[in-house]
Structure 1
């Protein structure tokens, strides 16, 4: 079958419209053709008080925007890629280096010559996996640039702004990423909740969670020492994660969604979680991470139901 996919050409796509609120790229330069962003018009997102505006990749490339690269302190096989100054939501993409090749978790809008060259110097990309539609950004641009598939949840297909032969729509709830026909060690778990297909990525005990589970300030807090140097325990009742249908509009998930997420997560061990923004990293032992997730679910369910009975509330978290 002959491919109809056009080659990567930044000059051809550089004038295409990019939503300044969420970073989604639209396959047109006509501001009368696309006047609003359907991603931001969904109740999970928002248009800023200043109103709907668009930029382009050409404008971002000409400006002072650059990619910042930050290896994980706990594991240098993982590197955060963020755009500074912030574009759209400000999420990080995460480059995961496996023996089978590099995988990009989530996506940022900016792809300039410097970023592309650095990734090629590191071996290019074998696959892109995106957690949910808010981070679709310019994923087709990235897929064309590195000639690699981009994996998206089939449940969220209606949220793509442009179609491409590089897109692979995944129907499985739990699936292993193969690279060149062989196992990569990467497993993707479709937990749902925020979007029907919202996913997390698990590789060698590191779980990349985007905002499928939202890292909280209490999750990042440090209570190990007090103000005069004494040791103390973490206070009771502190969560580490919250579970939201809309993060910016603060609409929580239901206990039913918690049940489904937990049924999947309880099969797996993980020793750290890494959220959508820089600094959203919790690194503990595998038992402690499991305990924190389940305790956070208990706290969420308790307050959603006003203290009513629920099966998870009956379980004792050690």
Structure 2
């Protein structure tokens, strides 16, 4: 067991050391986010700082630092052996939303798109280069499900018969976001699966 904390939200919790001590497990956070952690000298707690862009925490379970609305924003990729669904735990690095950009016209129920936001409550988008940085971190991964910060709203599963894979939807969403900001010649548009 371990706890993975991401971002400046860590300072709001003020409890990473309590979690580690209570559950007798390490707490992982990115090195860049460690400025937000307090109580770094708690002897009964273990804080492990992630420095590399990709770190395997357990077999089939990898943390990837993507950046986004803060430099240490990360996702957790799960591809354990004998598991049928490769999964991406995105927290709030990307955010699933309903969209009118349905790749399967005439089919209901698959109108999910992803937003790349600096501020989710205020719907302030990330700059195009940050969107591209996130995409490039996710591009090598295989995933058929994404789990977000608000379970009932942001958990998305790839369904049989969809014309676009979930990964293709992430790329399509990145391109929609960048184009909507007025950057029609950005390098995101040459990206492919």
Range into which the TM-score falls when normalised by the shorter chain? 0.7 to 0.9
Contact residue 223 and residue 234 of structure 1 kept, 8 A: no
Identify the residue that residue 209 of structure 1 maps to in structure 2.
Answer: 90
Structure 1: how far apart are the matches of 2:190 and 2:77? 28
Are 1:258 and 2:134 an aligned pair? no
Contact residue 75 and residue 90 of structure 2 kept, 8 A: yes
Structure 1: how far apart are the matches of 2:75 and 2:129? 19
Structure 2: how far apart are the matches of 1:208 and 1:162? 27
Structure 2: how far apart are the matches of 1:252 and 1:223? 22
Identify the residue that residue 295 of structure 1 maps to in structure 2.
Answer: 172
Are 1:309 and 2:190 an aligned pair? no
Structure 2: how far apart are the matches of 1:272 and 1:147? 29
Are 1:197 and 2:77 an aligned pair? no
Structure 2: how far apart are the matches of 1:196 and 1:132? 8
- Give the 5 Å matches for 1:63-102: none
Structure 1: how far apart are the matches of 2:102 and 2:135? 26
Q: Deviations over 1:95-122 (max 9, x none)?
A: xxxxxxxxxxxxxxxxxxxxxxxxxxxx
SS at match of 1:133: coil
Q: Deviations over 1:48-92 (max 9, x none)?
A: xxxxxxxxxxxxxxxxxxxxxxxxxxxxxxxxxxxxxxxxxxxxx
Identify the residue that residue 161 of structure 1 maps to in structure 2.
Answer: 38
Deviation at 1:252, TM superposition (A): 1.4
Q: Deviations over 1:210-243 (max 9, x none)?
A: 1011111339x9998xxxxxx81469xx661111
Deviation at 1:251, TM superposition (A): 2.3
Contact residue 272 and residue 285 of structure 1 kept, 8 A: no
Identify the residue that residue 116 of structure 2 maps to in structure 1.
Answer: 243
Q: 5+ unaligned residues in a row in structure 2: which ranges?
A: 80-85
Contact residue 223 and residue 232 of structure 1 kept, 8 A: no
Structure 2: how far apart are the matches of 1:240 and 1:300? 10
Contact residue 206 and residue 273 of structure 1 kept, 8 A: yes
Q: Deviations over 1:123-170 (max 9, x none)?
A: xxx211123232562222111011111000001111113324411111
Identify the residue that residue 142 of structure 2 maps to in structure 1.
Answer: 269
**Length-normalised TM-score, structure 2:** 0.80
- Give the 5 Å matches for 1:56-135: 126-134=1-9
Contact residue 193 and residue 212 of structure 1 kept, 8 A: yes
Q: Compute the RMSD of aligned alpha carbons.
A: 2.9
Larger Rg: 1
Deviation at 1:270, TM superposition (A): 0.2
**Length-normalised TM-score, structure 1:** 0.50
The higher-RCO structure (CA 8 Å, 6+ apart) is 2
Contact residue 131 and residue 198 of structure 1 kept, 8 A: yes
